[in-house]
Amino acid sequence: MMFRYALRGRGDLAEWRDAARGFIAAGIVPDIIEWRTMDDADGLFGFDDNRLPEPSPHYRPASVPPAFIRLAEAVICHSDPTRFALLYRMLFRLLHDRNLLQIASDEDVVAAQRMAKTIGRDYHKMTAFVRFKELPLPEGVAGRRRFIAWFEPDHFIVKRVAPFFERRFNDMDWLIATPKGSASWDGTTLRSSDDPADKPDLRDETDDLWRIYYASIFNPARLKVKMMTKEMPKKYWKNLPEAELIPSLIANAEAQVLDMARRAASQPLPFHHRLQEAAAQVPEPDRAPAGTLAALKEEARSCTRCDIYCRATQTVFGDGPVDAKVMFIGEQPGDQEDLAGRPFVGPAGKLFNEVLAEVGIDRQSLYVTNAVKHFKYEPRGKRRIHQKPNMGEVRQCRWWLTQEIELVKPKLVVAMGATALFSLTDMRQRLEDVRSEPIAMEDGRVLFVTVHPSYLLRIPDEGRKAEELARFREDMNRIKRLAA
Amino acid sequence: MKRSLKERLAILSDAAKYDASCASSGTVKRSSSGSGGLGSTEGSGICHAYAPDGRCISLLKILLTNFCIYDCAYCINRSSSNVERARFSPEEVIWLTLEFYRRNYIEGLFLSSGIIRSSDHTMEDMVRIARELRTIHNFRGYIHLKTIPEASAHLIEEAGLYADRLSINIELPTDAGITQLAPEKRPDNIRRSMGDLRLKIEDMADPTLQTKRRRKFAPAGQSTQMIVGADGANDATVLGTSARLYGSYGLKRVYYSAFSPIPDSSKNLPLIKPPLMREHRLYQADWLYRFYGFEIGEITSGGTDGMLDLDLDPKLAWALGHRERFPVDINKGEREALLRVPGLGTKSVKSILSARRFRKLRLEDLKRLSVSLKKVQPFITAEGWTPHKLVDRTDLRAMFQPKPEQLSLL
């Protein structure tokens, strides 16, 4: 025996759901139900057929995954007459196979997903291509502005899309009329109907401005008509005010490009020459007196001695009082230092500050700098991975470090890590061999070597990390005594 | 005589069209329901129209003015150009934005400007437009402001409170290129401004101590644009710069803009057709870097002189050069390996990973997932399918190469 069931079929899931529930309750297999829409059903068979079978006594109400309901809500809007049967078949199969929806390559799942995708596209195109036209208020009447649009969707989506327009166009009254229903908003209530509406006769002067914009934003040198029609198919053109320009824009594109070529490079207007003269007369900004730390810093801003500079954000010069007794030298700025333009402000800088505070050294009294003044790194997705500067780069950058030392004249120079040590002594030594002891330098200064705080951050083992941190703290205590 | 609004709209949108970006995506969800304002943003942007150049029109993309004291060779608005000049008042920009928005022509405003008098003066007007749209007109649509690298920090900060996205154009892939073609622009200033923006965005995204609320600052992040084909930089250089920009400043997008001949073009530049295919390949390579786990070096190593193959998409070109990595078993291969199969996108890979937990996948399954069998066949094994020696065929490249175009009669 065949069951026949007719639905209004205008995008309402509830009517299908009620019927489907009835068939499921009676255990009816999909093959023996013939689903129709009422429009098609007229005359073929009467509404008498629209009766649901008696529920089976063994029936226990079954649930479906929420993903199926979401899918069905979209599929039901499709105008394909097979949608009811497809959904019922899936519902029936879901009772035995809960994972059905995850089998993305299953024939029914593919068909339903394809319909849902079509609905998504129709929805999206409606949000894109509805064009409101203003219906001016009668003269002397104050109130909310009123707008009307005519649109022709392929599927029964008006009710589904209406909330989008409410969220967007809240402070004006609007009505969207379509052959598949209409929706309206008056500031308090969102109404929708699935009755076909008539096309209103509308005109809006602002469309002229929009057409001017559309024609002017088009670049005739990059004609790609296929790309346009793929995203804005011709079926939408009749209701888009700008579309009437398309044929002439395409036809004139080549001539426009040729015209551009012909008009190439004319003589600039006087305006340009006045600007150039004015720019030439702008006095050089005040410079710090030569031979000072400020002047050196200024000069270092445009350093191009090695190739790192154009990959980094900026030169990160030393920071601290010009008469500091102690100078700390690290390796190179990191990610945070590169952005902020100041040394030791990132994670290693935080650790450095913490240890200084613990042993009672005032960071403000120190001159803190790096052996290399630009950040060297390797981009890895959204991050930058630190790269060790090579010997050539360290040697080039020594130019700046040497002058910093000469100007600040610190009593004690602290090299944190091997790169700083190499920069100061040109020797590649094991850190352990020279660490923690004051070393007399040729110029009468004292050198002290310790590890770089970022080394401490990289130790994975917590126990060892604590040990190393304690050693670093001891070093800082020695530095404090040496500086006193 | 002062030009009409229509005339100025024509001039100032024509002046803005060489900026490729028109995206209105990636911002927070906002709506005007409840508040009684105008506008919403829903995560993904909407293209309200397409011009015959195939580009999406999503925003009202205009210049506040095209008077400019800079003389950048590639720019239609450079001071030595003879284009017609015009300017809008801030009120006019606000009016146009709102009226266009009400008719559902646009998602919002993308405002840029030539530099007049000083950077701060220009930036102040731009910030005022964004502020008044938000605070006086209760506008909740999308706002993208092109910021000016030299503008004061407080103006940038205010801009970020009202705008969804801020951008600064890097303009050209190398410092040398910028110095040569945009003599008034300083590459280090551009980088520093991008760095400042990233710090500000990160700082504002941290919950405050008292209220634990995250403040909103340019929620759609920052982007930039690079002009391709105006200087001699090759694709490896272009992509290397992009990778650094993504890594350094957390950019949401780098836009590539094939250098397009402009009216009254500078003598320093070639008047050629814009290299559209090159631009397309760069976008594909950019995608491979960001979403498919490719390193820039891997993508560019196969080409000659650091240029991508114009005939083949970069993933296919890479696969043809690394045949030892294929075929990949679609029923067992790891996600990373599947992502490298020509013809499989992130979505189809996701579907494959989900479906293969329940059944052994055959070529028919892939076909139902809308995968192009012609493209994937040589590179995969599936239930009931092995490509045999297909992947070793010497004419494999020829199978994919576009047919030579026949000469047409004049």
| Structural domain contains residue A272 | no
Among chain A residues, the shortest Cα distance to B40 is held by A168
State yes or no: pLDDT of A47 exceeds 80: no
- Could you tell me if A93 and A168 lie in one domain? no
Which of the listed residues A93, A125, A157 is the one where a domain comes to its end? A125
Handedness of CA A209, A213, A216, A220 (dihedral sign): negative
Number of domains in chain A: 4
The C-alpha R_g of chain A, in whole angstroms, comes to 38
Q: Are residues A115 and A170 in the same domain?
A: no
Q: Which domain holds residue A88?
A: 3-125
Beta carbons of A302 and B187 less than 8 Å apart: no
Cβ–Cβ contact B43 with A under 8 A:
no
**Percent of chain A surpassing pLDDT 70:** 97
A372 neighbors A397 (Cβ within 8 angstroms): yes
**A189, A248: one domain:** no
* Cβ of residue B92 closer than 8 Å to a chain A Cβ: no
Give residues 300 to 329 of B whose Cβ lies within 8 Å of A.
Answer: none
* Probe site for chain A from B44, B102, B200 (most A CB atoms < 10 A): B102
Within-domain flag for A198: no
* Percentage of chain A exceeding pLDDT 90: 75
A44 has pLDDT over 80: no
B263 inside 8 A of chain A by CB:
yes
Nearest CA in chain B to A190: B33
Q: Is residue A208 part of a domain?
A: no
On whether residue A95 sits in a domain, the answer given is yes
Clarify whether residues A224 and A332 are in a common domain: no
Q: Say how many residues make up chain B.
A: 410
**ipTM of the complex as predicted:** 0.92
User: Does A172 sit within 8 Å of B365, measured CB to CB?
Assistant: no
The CA distance from A372 to A398, in Å, is 8
410 residues of chain B, pLDDT tens digit each: 689 999 999 999 999 998 888 888 888 899 988 778 999 998 789 999 999 999 999 999 999 999 998 999 888 899 988 889 999 999 999 999 999 999 999 999 999 999 887 889 889 999 999 999 999 999 999 999 999 878 898 999 999 999 999 999 999 999 999 999 998 888 988 999 999 999 999 888 877 666 666 678 999 999 999 999 888 899 999 999 999 999 999 999 999 998 887 777 666 666 667 788 999 999 999 999 999 999 999 999 888 889 999 999 999 999 999 999 999 999 999 999 999 999 999 999 999 999 999 889 999 999 988 899 999 999 999 999 998 776 677 777 877 777 766 555 54
pLDDT of residue B268: 66
B276: contact with A, CB 8 A cutoff: yes
Pick from B154, B139, B146: which is nearest to B171 by CA?
Answer: B146
**Is residue A245 included in any domain, yes or no?**
yes
In a domain, A270, yes or no: no
Residues from chain B contacting residue A212 (CB–CB below 8 Å)? 6, 9-10, 13
Phi-psi category of residue B194: left, alpha or beta, with phi > 0 → left and psi -120 to 50 → alpha: alpha
Q: Say yes or no: A80 and A189 in one domain.
A: no
What residues of chain B lie within 8 A of the CB of A134, using their CB? 102-103
- Are A333 and A424 in the same domain? yes
Q: Has residue A276 been placed in a domain? A: no
Sheet containing A190-193: which strands, arranged edge to edge? A133-135, A146-150, A173-178, A181-185, A190-193
The one-character DSSP state at B30 is B
In-domain check, residue A269:
no
**How deeply is A479 buried, as exposed, middle or buried, from its count of CB atoms within 10 A (0-12, 13-18, 19+)?**
buried
Q: What is the pLDDT of residue A45?
A: 55
Which of the listed residues A125, A153, A174 is the one where a domain comes to its end? A125
What is the reported pLDDT for A461? 95
Q: How much is the pLDDT for A441?
A: 87
Contacts of B192 in chain A (CB under 8 A): 313-314, 341
Co-location of A236 and A351 in the same domain: no
Q: What's this model's pTM, rounded to 2 decimal places? A: 0.90
Q: Is A249 helix (H, G, I), strand (E, B) or coil?
A: helix
**Chain B interface test: which of A118, A176, A202, A219 (most B C-beta within 10 Å):** A219
Residues A107 and A158 both lie in one domain: no
Q: Residue A219: its chain B contacts at CB < 8 A?
A: 17-18, 51, 53, 55, 260
Closest CA to B357 of A281, A105, A419: A105
State the Cα–Cα distance between residues B347 and B345, nearest whole angstrom: 5
8 Å CB contact of A228 and B52: yes
Verify that A246 and A369 share a domain, yes or no.
Answer: no
Q: How far is A382 from chain B (nearest CA, A)?
A: 4
* Residues A379, A468 share a domain: yes
Q: Which of B83, B100, B102, B69 is nearest to B5 (CA)?
A: B100
Q: B240-293, pLDDT tens digit by residue?
A: 999 999 999 999 999 999 888 777 766 666 666 778 899 999 999 999 999 999
Interface-testing mutation among A124, A151, A171, A383, with chain B (most B C-beta atoms within 10 A) = A171
Interface contact A171-B37, CB threshold 8 A: yes
Instruction: Please tell me the distance in Å from A396's CA to the nearest CA on chain B.
Output: 20
What amino acid is encoded at A143 in this protein?
G
Residue B252 C-alpha from the chain's centroid: 8
Whether chain A has a CB inside 8 Å of the CB on B224: the answer is no
Residue B104: which of A102, A131, A302 has the nearest Cβ?
A131
- Please tell me whether residues A392 and A478 are part of one structural domain: yes
Closest approach of A94 to chain B, Cα-based (Å): 14
Look at residues A71, A92, A125 and tell me which one is the last residue of a structural domain: A125
Among A99, A165, A222, A228, which would you mutate to test the B interface (most chain B Cβ atoms within 10 Å of its Cβ)? Answer: A222
> According to the model, what pLDDT value does residue B210 have?
67
In tens, the pLDDT along A106-151 reads: 999 999 999 999 999 999 999 999 999 999 988 888 889 999 999 9
Chain A residues in contact with B258 by the CB 8 A cut-off are 222
Q: Based on the domain organization, do A420 and A370 belong to the same domain?
A: yes
Residues of B in contact with A298 (CB under 8 A): none
